Amino acid sequence: MPAAVTIDEGPLDRSTRRACGELCARAFAGAEMFRLFFPAPRSRARSIAALHRAALAHLGPAGRCSVARAHDGQVLGVAAWLAPGGFPPPVREQLIRLPSVLAAFAPHWGALRLAARAEAATLARHPREPHWYLQLLAVEPAAQRAGIGSALLAPALERVDAEGALAYLETHDEANLAYYERFGFALDARLDLGRGGSGLFTMRREPRR
């Protein structure tokens, strides 16, 4: 990781959540899942940003966030975890987030059924035992392959190992499987979203005693 990059942990203020949402829109612009959800290129970035802003704002009390910043304060990466017992987030948080989710899908109402199917598929695979859930990891495209993702993951995985806990994640890009395998995750399942999409992949990192 570049020496000028710092990692901040803790709740995100509104401006940081906005910067993280815009970063996610750039990082996930080419992801097949989001291209299926939001087929109109002009509104895709806005929808992706809105979804991730809402998610980061309403993780619930079990949410844990880390942000990588450049020396000038620019957000270069973000990671969001839910601690054991934090998934799903409290119903109150889900209800507060719902209007933002619906607004993100407003230009693409036809994709709501696909999104609901993806949500149901991931819920069915989600671990029932206590676990840490990596809900989001995103790095600015121009800053990728510089160790920022590793720096965001390392503190949380140290905590996971100290607790002897299971860790779990989902990724919509098959190319990410090898990346997460470097950190001890293993493929759990491939979930087919239909419509010719590449699907979703679930991964588990078994407890290390």
Residue 174 resides in a domain: yes
Helix (H) or strand (E) holding 191: strand 186-191
Residue 99 resides in a domain: yes
Return mean pLDDT, the chain.
Answer: 91
Averaged pLDDT for residues 182-206: 85
pLDDT score at 65: 98
Window from 1-15, 41-55, 63-77, 148-162 with minimum mean pLDDT: 1-15
Residue 1 resides in a domain: no
Averaged pLDDT for residues 18-27: 97
Measured between alpha carbons, how far apart are the two ends of the chain, in Å? 28
Q: Which amino acid is at 17?
A: R
Residue 82 resides in a domain: yes
Please state the domain count of the chain: 1
Closest listed residue to residue 78, CA positions, set 59, 98, 99, 91: 59
Query: Cα(3)–Cα(30) distance, rounded to whole angstroms?
Result: 29
pLDDT tens-digit readout, 56-71 = 999 999 999 999 999 9
- For the domain that residue 193 is a member of, what is the CATH number? 3.40.630.30
pLDDT score at 66: 98
pLDDT-derived band at 3, boundaries 50, 70, 90: low
pLDDT score at 1: 60
Token pair in block for residue 110: 């036809």
86 vs 192, higher pLDDT: 86
Query: Cα(195)–Cα(117) distance, rounded to whole angstroms?
Result: 12
Averaged pLDDT for residues 93-101: 91
Residue 146 resides in a domain: yes
Residue 24 resides in a domain: yes
b vs e for 39-56, b when ≥16 Cβ sit within 10 Å of the residue's Cβ? eeeeebbbbbbbbbbbbb
| Domain range enclosing 100 | 6-205
Query: Cα(106)–Cα(98) distance, rounded to whole angstroms?
Result: 12
Could you give the strand order of the β-sheet that contains 63-69, starting from the edge strand earlier in sequence? 6-9, 63-69, 75-82, 131-139, 166-171, 200-205, 186-191
